[in-house]
Amino acid sequence: MRQKILFATENEGKMKEIRQILGDMDVEIQSLREAGIHGDIEENGETFEENAAIKAREIARLTDAIVLADDSGLEVDYLGKEPGVHSARYMGYDTSYRIKNQSILDRLQGVPEEQRTARFVCAIAAALPDGGLLYSRGTIEGIIGYEERGEGGFGYDPIFFLPEYGCSTAELTMEKKNELSHRGKALRQMKKMLEEYMA
Ligand code: ITT
């Protein structure tokens, strides 16, 4: 039987990026929705790694599959690395990203470019059927822009600007974003570790 990987996320934006990178593995990849699992998990860890492990472990109790989870977020240096691990909860889970993004732009009003540095961070944890855990991490450095730009990606992408590319991550194709992004880097590392584990 083909090995199954369950990705413990309810974020459809993440799931699309994940499929593009892991899609060529010889495994079946399922989202929580596809597996019919609704995980209401308290992400109360203090680091991305802790939260990724909490999600992966919690869902692994419900399945025999390898369970992967991504915990990620935006660190804005001028805001003391907030929203960080609170990125999804910032101003409330259900608040639209138009409003969340505008709030960050407002809090950085008048702040010069050299102090607008920020990064996306992604930690991925894999809970293995033998009880083991694997971790990977990726980051991408950028600056907080001056307005929302682009329709691609999700979340904070429209305000995350890459000076060397002259655009926000919401203006990149998904292929290009995956090549450069925190999630792309963490997923490629994890893919290698899983291929070794399954060999
Ligand atoms: P799951 O826990 O179900 O995976 P979530 O959206 O709650 O979904 P996180 O707790 O990991 O996920 O929060 C990550 C948040 O960080 C996400 O909701 C975005 O606001 C932001 N984020 C992470 N990666 C991003 C990216 O590539 N582009 C834009 N925003 C991103």
pLDDT digits 0-9 by tens, 67-112: 999 999 999 999 999 999 999 999 999 999 999 999 999 999 999 9
CA neighbours closer than 13 Å in the CB half-sphere of residue 127: 24
Q: To the nearest whole number, what is the mean pLDDT of the chain?
A: 96
Cα–ligand 1 centroid distance for 33 (angstroms): 17
Choose among 100, 70, 67: nearest CA to 83: 100
5 is written with which tokens? 């990987």
> Percentage of the chain with pLDDT > 90?
94
Residue 39 has pLDDT above 90, yes or no: no
What region, left, alpha or beta, does residue 195 occupy, with left being phi > 0 and alpha being psi -120 to 50 degrees?
alpha
pLDDT digits 0-9 by tens, 48-70: 999 999 999 999 999 999 999 99
Q: What is the pTM of this model?
A: 0.97
Domains of the chain: 3-198 (3.90.950.10)
Residue 136: what pLDDT?
Answer: 98
Cα–ligand 1 centroid distance for 44 (angstroms): 15
Query: Is the CB of residue 154 below 6 angstroms from any atom belonging to ligand 1?
Result: yes
The position carrying tokens 């109790």 is 61
Q: Which atom of ligand 1 is nearest to the CA of 182?
A: 27
Maximum C-alpha span of the chain: 58
Query: Is the CB of residue 75 below 6 angstroms from any atom belonging to ligand 1?
Result: no
Residue 34: what pLDDT?
Answer: 93
Residue 38 has pLDDT above 90, yes or no: no
Residue 190 has pLDDT above 80, yes or no: yes
Cα–ligand 1 centroid distance for 55 (angstroms): 13
Active centre residues (catalytic): 71
